[in-house]
Chain A
Amino acid sequence: MVDVAFHPNSVATGSARKRSSLRTALKRKSTAAFLMTLPLILLVAVLVIYPAFYSLHLATLNKSMQRFVGLGNFAFLFKRETFWLVVKQSCIFAVSAVFFKALIGFIVAHFVHNVPAKGQRKWRGMLLVPWVIPPAMSTLAWLWLFDPSYSAFNYTLSYFGIGPIPWTGDAAWARFSVILVNVWFGAPFFMIMYLAALKSVPEQLYEAAAIDGANWRQRIWYITLPMMRNIIAITTLFSLIVTFANFDIVRILTAGGPLDHTHIFATWAFRLGIEGGDIPLGASVSLFMFPILAIAAIFILRDINKRGNEA
């Protein structure tokens, strides 16, 4: 449709003016379009695609980056216990954090949706604050709340007779703390997404279900969840990627400690690559984030293609 409208235009200007061939090429629609996307293509190619492949190359070099060692870095990693600890922790961290973010986001979205529309804005505004504050800043507040000697949480809990909790000092508690902070930071995103999805579910469906005598559990299971399936899937995938690649929260809260028991891929890659000066080893560690990315990419691509066909 558009093409039909535009072609005569470009041909007319081209032939009427009789400019040089370069000028006519520039006037052509596809050339103009290509020039407009050129900065984007260059940026993505030079600063995203190339480094991604370059890290594959880096991972096969030795520490001084002079000698090719093949899969030596990986063989070295596989022999280290810390590596397997990091793999385990990354998976625990990502899966449990995303699960609780999705769960809390779902519940809170329902509550916000329940409230009269007048007040929804206010609640939404308050509940989204964790997502707005830069994570590096809010994690500092959490670090202070978790402080070993002045923890405000422990102060409050001591009134209930619960002894001082080593929030970041003990391995199990430290893992809990980083997951808690991540859930605090990420749940609002899910809440907003689910709220938008809930609003798009037609009210008639619920009315029909109510007439048929469905209780609230059946309404959620047979109407809300199927209607929101797409949003839930895509939000979870997104969050899984972001959480798997998280850096700020773990870095500031525990810096991987105590005894590497909260390191995840990103923080350990930073420790090895930048602080330890072994860039190839760090690059090999960060490459392990790649499988999850590939899986997510396949699912998202499928989703995009499906939507393209629907539209």
Chain B
Amino acid sequence: MTSTVLIDKAAPTRKVKYGSMSRDRAWALRWSYFFLTLFAIFSLVPPIYMLITSLKSSAEISAATNPWWVFHPTLSNYIELLTSNQFLTFFRNSAFVSIFVVTITMLISVPAAFALSRMRFWGSATLATGVFLTYLIPDTLLFLPLFKMFVVFSNWTGIQLINRWYVLLILYPTLTVPFCTWIMIGYFASIPKELDEAAIIDGASWFQTLTRIFIPVALPGLIAATIFAFTVSWAQFLYPLVFITSTDQLVLPVGIITTLVKGDVFNWGQIMTGALLGAAPPLIIYAFLMDYYIAGLTAGATKG
């Protein structure tokens, strides 16, 4: 699409040879590349610096040599972290929590989005808007009442929720479900009505319409929502910090900060290695599924 537009734009200048215009355009392009390079450097400095530091030994870090270069690259930080039980526990907890949360989110939001976009019932329009508004209520407003609620809950029932990794399975869906439902409503609404009418005429039940028609057709949206739910639950920092204190129950982002920073001693080589490993899963997903990632990002504002 865009490429044809751009070629159209450039074509007359090439044929007619307007000297000044093509020169202007060439300069504009050069400036664009120059500033884009600057901005790309600005964006990539922290992750690259993570990588540089992760390859250094503590001796080299404290020697205060040129911080932007690795003189004696070593993998000792990686080996040390990947063989430490504690770090692997964080990683496993994070992976468990994220995968479960993605599953729960999809099980709740896909049927709800289907019902809200196709089966009009009393209050469904209000509910759709309401779901979107709840997405705007930030976690920083809710963590104190939720904490108190869970304390009261365990006093009443004796079920210990605080300080267990599975408490996050209850908390994270509040962040992921509203937005995923909202994205899926948008995608489902864009499916032509003729498709599901044809299915119903052929005798498909509601459930079959959902699984045989809507989910396959809206698969890109489903992938985008899945990626969103995964990145949110992988990156969430406040809830584990508030609700979990014992190290064997912690997830990665909080775990790295609370265990690798011992008092005032910062073992920067290991911290950067941990941060890089913690950033790796979202980055890998992003590298392979960038278009879905971006679709999920822009869907919230453009689909509504």
Contacts and interface: CB of A to CB of B under 8 A. Distances in A.
Given A36-B115, A48-B137, A145 B46 contact: yes
A114 interface: yes
8 nearest A-B pairs in the assembled complex, by CB-CB distance: A134-B235, A245-B138, A33-B119, A266-B140, A51-B145, A141-B46, A40-B112, A152-B67
Contacts of B32: 111, 114-115
Sort chain A's interface into a size bin. 35 or more
Nearest to A189: B297
Contacts of A47: 142, 146, 170-171, 173-174
B91 interface: no
B20 interface: no
B283 A30 contact: no
Contact of B142 (A33, A55, A199, A234): A55
Contacts of A304: 129, 132, 304
Nearest to A288: B141
B129 A192 contact: no
Interface stretch (B35-43, B70-78, B217-225): B35-43
Which DSSP category, helix, strand, loop or mixed, fits chain A's interface? helix
Contacts of A248: 237-238
A144 interface: yes
B67 A32 contact: no
Interface string B20-54: 00000000110011011001101111110110010
Interface residues of B, number: 109
Contacts of A279: 144, 147-148
Interface of A: 1-3, 5-6, 9, 29-30, 32-34, 36-37, 39-41, 43-44, 47-52, 54-55, 58, 65, 104, 107-108, 111-112, 114-118, 120-121, 123-138, 140-142, 144-145, 147, 149-150, 152, 155-156, 184, 188-189, 192-193, 196, 199, 203, 231, 234-235, 238, 241-242, 244-248, 251-252, 265-266, 269-270, 273-274, 279, 282-283, 286-287, 289-290, 293, 296-297, 300-301, 304, 307
A149 B64 CA distance: 9
Nearest to B5: A203
Contacts of B257: 136, 140, 252
Given A29-B206, A39-B111, A140-B257, 20 more contacts: A2-B197, A33-B119, A37-B115, A43-B173, A48-B178, A51-B142, A55-B144, A65-B148, A107-B35, A133-B46, A134-B231, A137-B275, A140-B272, A145-B49, A184-B42, A248-B238, A269-B140, A274-B144, A279-B144, A279-B147
Contacts of B130: 44
Contact of B242 (A55, A241, A274): A274
Contact of A112 (B3, B36, B62, B111): B36
Which DSSP category, helix, strand, loop or mixed, fits chain B's interface? helix
Contacts of A125: 287, 290
A32 B129 contact: no
A111 B43 CA distance: 15
Nearest to B294: A192
Given A36-B114, A114-B29, A293-B137, A307 B279 contact: no
A14 B99 CA distance: 40
Nearest to A242: B138
Given A127-B39, A245-B138, A245-B140, A138 B279 contact: yes
A64 to B, nearest CB: 12
A289 B206 CA distance: 42
Contacts of B279: 132-134, 137-138
A301 B43 contact: no
B118 A141 contact: no
A52 B298 contact: no
B268 A199 contact: no
Contacts of A52: 137, 141-142, 145
A140 B257 CA distance: 8
Interface centre among B42, B242, B301 (most CB of A within 10 A): B301
A283 B145 CA distance: 7
Contacts of B67: 150, 152, 155
A130 B279 CA distance: 10
Contacts of B46: 130, 133, 138, 141-142, 145, 184
A9 to B, nearest CB: 6
Given A52-B137, A234-B301, A247-B238, A37 B127 contact: yes
